[in-house]
Structure 1
Amino acid sequence: MLQVALIYPEIPPNTGNIARTCAATNTQLHLVEPLGFEISDRQLKRAGIDYWEYVDVTVHPHIESLREASKGGRWICFSARGSQSFREFQYQDGDWLLFGSESSGLPEEIIANNLTVQIPMEHPKVRSLNLSVSAALGLFEARRQLGL
């Protein structure tokens, strides 16, 4: 089973939209603190609409808690600094798809020690996509490859 992890997310509507995507695909969502919002945030709830009861969310107090929960699974980091396209990468059942904060992405120490993919950008002035768009692209590509 695939897992999605957001490392230090900052913007409530992005996390709410990702939670909604996870609910639709029956994918567990992991959030690593510190968060840039409260879980009860009105914008977070609004973005997730009525689907919060259908998503399995785990909040981790720190990255080591996530590492412990993911034992046995590969961490696949999504970053503009990745060298391989997320479409060419071969996903496996049990992979953990990691996405960083909106302002700074994933910490360098996480990227340096794990598999890292990128979503290609055609325009050289566009640094990245919205976090919820990136998470949806990554999750659905992994699911497509796994026949889900």
Structure 2
Amino acid sequence: MFHIVLLEPEIPANTGNIGRTCVAVGARLHLIEPLGFRLNEKNLKRAGMDYWKDLDVRTYIDYADFLEQNPGAKIYMATTKAAKVYTEVRYEPDCYIMFGKESAGIPEEILVRHKEDCVRIPMIGDTRSLNLGNSAAIILYEALRQNQFAGLNLEGHLHRLEW
């Protein structure tokens, strides 16, 4: 199982989309307060659709609480300030991939303590960042790919229509 961690997410639709992705791949979602919305908010549920009820989600009062409740967790931190590209690390099963809030990312005081575990998604020029939901999906699916998509359906089937 992989873990997606959102540090102080602000936009309910992003968190809903990420929650839906987590359900689709069996990942656990960790939300670190303060949140920019309430968990029962309509926009959150709309983005997560009917998957939200199946989501394995944990909440924490702050970053210290998250660390205390997940001792020894291997945490990769997604940031535009990283020296390494997200494909340059080996994501082991049960690792955590953290994303910061939409307006500011992960605070630098946290990043400097985890410099070796910071990863970035390449972009051209002065592009500030990608959408949070897209970023989480990109890195989570790389982690899944590296682990041979363990436990996921690898084959789809077309349904034959008879006339």
TM-score, shorter chain, exceeding 0.5 = yes
RMSD: 0.9
Deviation at 1:69, TM superposition (A): 2.6
Q: Which residue of 1 aligns with 2:132?
A: 131
Deviation at 1:72, TM superposition (A): 2.4
Question: 1:70–1:96: 8 Å Cα contact kept in structure 2?
Answer: no
Name the amino acid aligned to 2:83: S
Q: Which residue of 1 aligns with 2:100?
A: 100
1:120 aligns with 2:122: yes
Name the amino acid aligned to 2:118: T
The answer for unaligned runs of 5 or more in structure 1 is: none
Give 4+ residue runs of structure 1 displaced > 3 Å after superposition: none
Question: 1:9–1:35: 8 Å Cα contact kept in structure 2?
Answer: yes
Deviation at 1:110, TM superposition (A): 1.6
Name the amino acid aligned to 2:121: I
1:34-54: CA deviation from partner (whole Å, max 9, x where unpaired): 000011111111000100111
Please give the alpha-carbon distance, in whole angstroms, between the structure 2 residues aligned to 1:94 and 1:112. Answer: 23
Question: 2:3–2:94: 8 Å Cα contact kept in structure 1?
Answer: yes
Larger of the two Rg values belongs to structure? 2
Please give the alpha-carbon distance, in whole angstroms, between the structure 2 residues aligned to 1:55 and 1:15. Answer: 12
Q: What TM-score do you get using the length of structure 2 for normalisation?
A: 0.87
Q: Which residue of 2 aligns with 1:29?
A: 29
Query: What's the % identity of the aligned pairs?
Result: 43
1:53-106: CA deviation from partner (whole Å, max 9, x where unpaired): 111011111111211232222110000001100011111122110000000000
Name the amino acid aligned to 1:100: G
SS in 1 for 2:50: coil
Name the amino acid aligned to 1:147: Q
Name the amino acid aligned to 2:40: S
SS in 2 for 1:50: helix
Please give the alpha-carbon distance, in whole angstroms, between the structure 2 residues aligned to 1:101 and 1:5. Answer: 11
Residues paired across the two proteins, number: 147
1:68 aligns with 2:93: no
1:140 aligns with 2:141: yes
1:111 aligns with 2:111: yes
Please give the alpha-carbon distance, in whole angstroms, between the structure 1 residues aligned to 2:94 and 2:68. Answer: 14
The answer for unaligned runs of 5 or more in structure 2 is: 150-163
SS in 2 for 1:49: helix
1:58 aligns with 2:58: yes
Question: 1:29–1:56: 8 Å Cα contact kept in structure 2?
Answer: yes
Name the amino acid aligned to 1:137: I
